[in-house]
Structure 1
Amino acid sequence: MNRAAAYLVTLYTVVGDRFENRKDRGATAVEYGLMVGLIAVAIIVVVALLGRQLSALFTEITNGLAGPSKVAV
């Protein structure tokens, strides 16, 4: 009987310790969620502001890489 009681006390202690340390995890998850949201908003704003300029730049680079097309006749 002592062995079973010792096992139950140990189990209770381990489980209680695990759940006691999880009190702050919800707040941490919320903070990370807010940071991810703010980073996403920042990326959207930058792309919206610089979208046309980046598109023109990439088009210019693509045209420069293609070079003049000479067709042999």
Structure 2
Amino acid sequence: MWCKGRVFRRTRQGANFMVVLISLVIIFKEQLTNLVRSILSKITKQSNSI
């Protein structure tokens, strides 16, 4: 029976972690989008020069 409590505790911690992670993505969505865009454009430019 003690194992069941541990599993629920870990699941709760995992759920809390996911909520925090999703919240951070939502808050910084624009910055992340700009970062990915700039990385992809840099990769495209450098691949064209090869």
Does TM-score exceed 0.5, indicating one fold?
A: yes
Q: Percent identity?
A: 15
Report how many residues are paired.
47
Q: Which residue of 1 aligns with 2:39?
A: 61
| Residue in structure 2 matched with residue 31 of structure 1 by the alignment | 9
Within 5 Å, give how 1:1-40 maps onto structure 2: 23-40=1-18
Pick 1 or 2: higher relative contact order, CA cutoff 8 A, min separation 6: 2
Kindly indicate whether residue 21 of structure 2 is the aligned counterpart of residue 52 of structure 1.
no
Counterpart secondary structure, 2:28: helix
- Structure 2, unmatched stretches of 5+, are none
Q: Deviations over 1:36-68 (max 9, x none)?
A: 11011011011101111011011112122222x
TM-score by length of 2: 0.75
Q: How high is the TM-score relative to the length of structure 1?
A: 0.55
